[in-house]
Structures are given as C-alpha cells and as structure tokens.
Amino acid sequence: MTKGIFNLSIPVPAIDIVIFTIYKDKFCILLTKKSDDPFKWKFVLPGGILMSGYSLEENFDRILLEKTGIKWVYKEQLYTFWDPDRDTRWHAISIIYYALVRNESFLQDIDLTKVHIIEYDSLNFKDVGFDHEKIIKYAKQRLDWKLEYTNISKNILPDYFTLSNLQKVYEIILGKTIDKRNFRKKILSTKILKDTWTQDKSSNRPARLYEFIDKDLKIMDIL
C-alpha cells in the first residue's frame, strides 16, 4: 500500500476532538476547515499529531488551544480509529475524544478565525473530510446515551439553572420534545439537584435555581 509521498514505517499517532456546545439555542459542533490537501476546504475535526515527551493530557490541551483557542472543556476518550486507509498521507491512528463546552466558556476563549460553529442538524456531511462523519455520528450517539443515564448535562449548563433550562438542554441535544411534568418528576426523584433557594428573575415569571450536587460524573436512570 502506498501512502502518497509519505512512506513511514510506523503509524502516526494523533488526537481528534469532537466538540459539542449549545449556541443560540441550537446544538452545535465546532469544526475547522482544511486549507491543504487532502480534503482541501472540507470541514474536519480539530486535531493534531502527538508530540513525544508529553502526556496524552498535555497533548490534548495543546491541540485544543492551538486549533480552537479554547483552554478547557469537559472531555471523555471515545474510541481509537486505526484503519490504515483513513488518511491518504500516512497510516494515522487517531485517539478520539468528545467534549462539551459551556456557552459562556467557549464564547470567551474561542478563536473564530480558526473554528466554525455549525448547527449539528444543518451539517452537510458531504462537506466533511476524512472519516470524520463516522466519528462525529458515533460521538453524538454516545452523548445521547450518556444523557439518559448520567448527569453529563452539568458540563454544558451554567452552575445555576432552572428546571426549564435543564429540560431545554435535553430537548435541544436529543432533538425531541419531552413531557414537562414527567421530566421534572423524574429529575427531582434522582436527587442529583440541590435547590439554591434563589430565583432566576430574568423573566416575568421567576423560577427556582438549582445546581448539581455531584461535581463528578454520576450514573443514574434519568430518561
């Protein structure tokens, strides 16, 4: 098998990051655009080759900052894609992460000269390079599953939120309407929230503000 002009004897290790956020009440993904071959002008995931002498965590932080300007996200290692034909330049082994970033965090740090904020449902996968369509869809499915049995939504919500805010996050990400009464009953029964005894007064109908009790990821039956 020939890999373009690069005849490497060992696979090239890399990291690719699927970054999700909610922006203007839409579920969005952050993508970069290639300016060279292969897949010139196609959308691709923020990613890069691992540097020796650094931990996986350090490499992740470096790539995230270089490609997006963002300094921190909630992340989970998703899978390793290793098909020898996934990159025409060389045999690239990519460690995939998916990440969630809060609206206020990414708006503060993001470098919009490098990153495109794209509504997930409007993304045309014909415009996506490499095997990143497969990776993105796999990451979205994993997030949908995690919403059903963990408190992962805490990583995309502000510290304090109303039950309506929480339900809206579920509806935006899952792309469906959820019964308000059943959702609130189920969420409160899990005892993952704490009433702050304060109210959100940004609307004409002030609502109670809650926060998550557990700062770490917790498994429970939510939906």
- Nearest Cα residue to 94 out of 6, 18, 4: 18
CA distances from 146 to 32, 96, 220, 223 (A): 26, 17, 10, 10
CB 135 within 8 A of CB 96: yes
- Nearest Cα residue to 67 out of 112, 131, 127: 112
Q: Are residues 101 and 171 in the same domain?
A: no
Give the pLDDT of residue 56: 95
Residue 103 lies in a domain: yes
Residue 4 lies in a domain: no
pLDDT along the chain (223 residues), means of 10: 56 94 95 86 94 96 96 93 78 92 84 94 95 96 94 94 96 96 93 92 84 87 79
Q: Are residues 107 and 156 in the same domain?
A: no
**Residue finishing a domain among 92, 118, 147:** 147
Beta strand 12-23 with 92-100 is parallel
The total domain count for the chain is 2
Q: Can you give the length of the chain in residues?
A: 223
196 Cβ partners below 8 Å, 6+ apart?
A: 160, 208, 209, 210, 211
Domain carrying residue 167: 150-212
Distance of CA 147 to the CA centre of its chain: 13
Whether this prediction's pTM lies above 0.85 is answered by: yes
CB 212 within 8 A of CB 190: no
Residue 88 corresponds to which tokens in the numbers above?
């025409």
CB 184 within 8 A of CB 165: no
Give the pLDDT of residue 5: 45
Give the pLDDT of residue 8: 60
DSSP 3-state of 134: helix
State the residue for tokens 């904020």. 117
Q: Are residues 155 and 133 in the same domain?
A: no
Give the pLDDT of residue 2: 47
Residue 38 corresponds to which tokens in the numbers above?
């292969």
CATH of the domain at 83: 3.90.79.10
Q: How far apart are CA 135 and CA 16, in angstroms?
A: 9
Residue 2 lies in a domain: no
The C-alpha angle with vertex 146 and arms to 75 and 66, in degrees rounded to 5, equals: 20
